[in-house]
């Protein structure tokens, strides 16, 4: 057991991935920032001074206090408070947690759909391929954000405000996952088309393996690196989509805010001079998305997969 | 060419058919016209009779055909909130959105071509690297956040007092980082010029133009990085090709090669992507219009959602669907015309 893990670790240290990571300062910095943010999000309940979901801990008298360093600041609230008197640091920690959860969840869902449909379209070809890819084309031409907004609007109209607020996390994962599957499906299909012609697939066919086994056990592992690259970028896209939906009021409710709904609730107070309620969560959102995008760029350069152009 | 035309148009018709089915099922599943027409006091029998009269008890297929027939004739029902035909409501709001898109497109066109070409010709220059760095950051900033930051800086104003005033440097830094504000961030302004029909334009008065600045810059900011990167990538590819080398060997001037020979072939893929992006921009107009309370179709759609104005939601869906399908088909056709190497018929490669 120990020798197996050790050799795997050694293999990783010998790999080109690790070699190029060590030499890329931007990649290292992005990775460190991302890990810090992930840790902060995971341990938010331990790190946050107050629990923003707990109404008993909120005092309306503390509302709209500015962050430390400005006049009238309270040292108990390092990043100030929002209009309801919630500690901004705590709400941002919890909000990052919600945003990341939705981002990862949506990408897991779209990867599942995208891999399934991409494999089917690429390997089976023919009519299955043209139907699936036509659907993907149409959906992409409408832009994923537009599809997400429309689906979100329909869900909200049919569930009602209160009900939608309660199940908003699952709804958002579903909406963003379904709206963005074509991106991954196209990438998978493109690499399946290249893999399909190789000899190992012919060998597997001659040996009489079933189609399912060839698709999932033989071809899929060889298409993983482009999936990995595009999934990274897709997490950033999903987080932005979630923020956009929440900003439009089609996402997380204010009682259980994500970064997007924090920005939305702060926007109502920007004219009165309370810029920190909206701009600090905004900054956190931009940093989060930026480091994921930078890591995605780096992965693309290193793995150099045949990404679908367009 | 004719076969290509027929193929593309029938494909567009198919997509429009699917959109209409989706729109119909939304209307059928969510809207209850009876609820809007009659009050609480109407008895069950009368309701039932009215349902029969309105044809709500007919088979779904008959109802769909009636819906599609009316839609083709330009009748998508009445808005609950505005109390007039939904298409009229959309026509009232569409000019505002179109002006937003036109303004943003102008900014994108005027900035992305020179910057993209420059970054391709001198990829190692620090200014080019700076532009590419900014565009990477730009892609990571959601459009509504750009809009909020712009409002804070140019509308509300920033008063920086971080540095000590005693030193000359501190005072200078404070002054340099502070902004006046004052640009309008709400609505379309006054004295709009009436062009025709429902189109009131903000392009011809000072107030209208001032109100256009922040929304257009915000909307442009999300597309600009994408276009800069695209133009740079395509241009770099073109600059590697044989005919450019030949032009260089012939001793043509660099300006002539770059802007006449290379740019022509660079713009081809840019046109296709650009056409598709116009559709994508519609989604971003919803966000931009929300921030700036811009009275366009995006804000109208969002308000229709909060008011559960189902006919208006459905009509918006159909109109936006039509815009998407028409632009995509036109882009396909134009691309087929200008690029003779594209396969006109048969399956996509």
- CB under 8 Å to A143, separation ≥6 — which residues? B279, B280, B282, B283
Q: Residue A309: is its pLDDT beyond 50?
A: no
Per-residue pLDDT tens over the stretch A266-300: 888 877 777 788 888 889 999 999 999 899 888 88
Top residue of B129, B137, B154, B305 to mutate, by most chain A CBs within 10 Å, is B305
Give me the mean pLDDT over the B302-323 stretch.
Answer: 86
Task: Quickly tell me which residue has 């929300």 as its tokens.
Answer: B290
DSSP structure string for A108-149: HHHHHHHHHHHHHHHHH-HHHHHHHHHHHHHHHHT-HHHHHH
Q: Closest approach of chain B CAs to the CA of A10, in angstroms?
A: 34
Q: Residue B98: is its pLDDT beyond 70?
A: yes
- CB under 8 Å to B67, separation ≥6 — which residues? B20, B24, B27
B196: alpha, beta or left? (left if phi > 0; alpha if psi -120 to 50): beta
Using the Cβ of B292 and the Cβ atoms of chain A, whether some distance falls under 8 Å is answered with: no
Interface touch B305/A153, C-beta < 8 Å: yes
Residues on chain B touching A293 (C-beta within 8 angstroms): 136, 139-140
Q: How far is CA B125 from the centre of its chain?
A: 33
Residues in chain A: 310
Contacting A residues, span 238-267, partner chain B, CB-CB under 8 Å: 240, 243-244, 247-250, 263, 267
CA-to-CA distance for B241 and B264, rounded, in angstroms? 13
What's the pLDDT band for A183 if we cut at 50, 70, 90? confident
Structure tokens at B318: 């159909």
Give me the mean pLDDT over the B214-232 stretch.
Answer: 89
DSSP B213: H
Interface touch B149/A279, C-beta < 8 Å: yes
A193: nearest CA partner in chain B: B349
Give me the mean pLDDT over the B77-105 stretch.
Answer: 88
Interface touch B144/A263, C-beta < 8 Å: yes
Interface touch A248/B306, C-beta < 8 Å: no
Q: Closest approach of chain A CAs to the CA of B144, in angstroms?
A: 8
DSSP B195: E
Interface touch B141/A149, C-beta < 8 Å: no
Question: Of A270, A282, A286, which is closest to B156 when you measure between CB atoms?
Answer: A270
What ipTM describes this predicted complex?
A: 0.81
Which of these ranges, A97-101, A152-156, A176-180, has the smallest mean pLDDT? Answer: A152-156
B186: nearest CA partner in chain A: A271
Per-residue pLDDT tens over the stretch A220-253: 888 888 888 889 989 999 999 999 999 888 888 8
Interface touch B287/A248, C-beta < 8 Å: yes
Question: Of B139, B144, B148, which is closest to A293 when you measure between CB atoms?
Answer: B139
Residues on chain B touching A297 (C-beta within 8 angstroms): 136
CA-to-CA distance for B5 and B1, rounded, in angstroms? 6
């Amino acid at each position: 057991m120990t020798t197996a893990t050790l050799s795997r670790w050694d293999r990783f240290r010998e790999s080109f991935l690790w070699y190029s990571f060590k030499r890329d300062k931007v990649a290292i910095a992005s990775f460190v920032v991302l890990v810090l943010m992930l840790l902060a999000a995971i341990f938010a309940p331990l790190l946050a001074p107050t629990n923003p979901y707990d109404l008993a801990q909120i005092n309306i008298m503390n509302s709209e206090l500015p962050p430390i360093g400005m006049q009238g600041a309270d040292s108990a609230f390092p990043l100030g408070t929002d209009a309801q008197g919630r500690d901004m640091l705590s709400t941002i920690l919890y909000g990052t947690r919600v945003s990341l959860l939705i981002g990862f969840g949506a990408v897991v869902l779209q990867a599942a759909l995208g891999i399934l449909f991409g494999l089917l379209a690429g390997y089976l070809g023919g009519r299955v391929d043209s139907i699936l890819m036509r659907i993907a084309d149409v959906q992409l031409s409408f832009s994923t954000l537009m599809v997400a907004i429309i689906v979100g609007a329909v869900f909200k109209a049919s569930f009602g405000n209160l009900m939608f607020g309660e199940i908003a996390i699952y709804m958002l994962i579903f909406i963003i996952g379904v709206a963005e599957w074509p991106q991954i499906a196209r990438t998978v299909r493109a690499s399946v088309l290249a893999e399909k012609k190789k000899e190992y697939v012919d060998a597997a066919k001659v040996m009489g393996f079933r189609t399912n086994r060839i698709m999932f056990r033989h071809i899929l592992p060889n298409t993983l690196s482009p999936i990995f690259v595009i999934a990274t970028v897709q997490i950033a896209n999903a987080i932005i989509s979630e923020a956009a939906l929440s900003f439009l009021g089609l996402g997380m409710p204010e009682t259980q805010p994500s970064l997007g709904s924090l920005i939305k609730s702060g926007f109502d107070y920007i004219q009165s001079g309370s810029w920190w309620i909206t701009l600090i969560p905004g900054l956190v959102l931009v940093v989060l998305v930026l480091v994921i995008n930078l890591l995605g760029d780096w992965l693309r350069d290193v793995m150099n997969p045949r990404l679908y152009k367009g | 060419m004719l076969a290509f035309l027929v193929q593309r148009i029938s494909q567009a018709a198919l997509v429009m058919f699917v959109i209409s089915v989706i729109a119909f099922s939304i209307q059928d599943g969510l809207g209850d016209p009876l609820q809007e027409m009659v009050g609480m006091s109407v008895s069950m029998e009368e309701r039932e009779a009215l349902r029969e009269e309105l044809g709500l008890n007919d088979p779904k297929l008959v109802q769909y055909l009636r819906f599609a027939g009316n839609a083709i004739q330009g009748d998508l029902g009445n808005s609950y909130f505005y109390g007039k035909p939904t298409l009229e409501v959309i026509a009232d709001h569409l000019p505002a959105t179109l002006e937003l898109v036109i303004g943003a497109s102008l900014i994108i066109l005027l900035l992305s071509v020179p910057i993209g070409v420059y970054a391709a010709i001198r990829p190692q220059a620090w200014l080019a690297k700076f532009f590419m760095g900014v565009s990477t950051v730009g892609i990571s900033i959601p459009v509504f956040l750009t809009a909020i930051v712009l409002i804070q800086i140019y509308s509300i104003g920033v008063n920086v007092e971080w540095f000590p005033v005693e030193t000359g440097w501190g005072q200078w830094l404070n002054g340099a980082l502070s902004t006046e504000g004052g640009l309008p961030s709400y609505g379309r302004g006054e004295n709009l010029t009436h062009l025709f029909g429902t189109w009131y334009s903000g392009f011809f008065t000072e107030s209208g133009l001032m109100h256009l600045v922040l929304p257009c810059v915000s909307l442009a900011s999300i597309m600009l990085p994408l276009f800069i990167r695209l133009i740079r990538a395509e241009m770099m590819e073109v600059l590697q090709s044989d005919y450019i080398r030949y032009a260089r060997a012939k001793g043509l001037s660099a300006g002539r090669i770059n802007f006449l020979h290379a740019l022509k072939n660079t713009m081809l893929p840019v046109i296709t992507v650009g056409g598709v992006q116009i559709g994508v921009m519609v989604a971003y107009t919803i966000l931009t219009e929300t921030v700036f309370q811009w009275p366009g179709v995006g804000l109208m759609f969002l308000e229709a959602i909060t008011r559960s104005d189902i006919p208006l939601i459905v009509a918006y869906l159909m109109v936006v669907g039509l815009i998407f399908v028409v632009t995509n088909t036109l882009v396909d056709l134009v691309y087929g015309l200008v690029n003779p190497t594209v396969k006109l018929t048969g399956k996509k490669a």
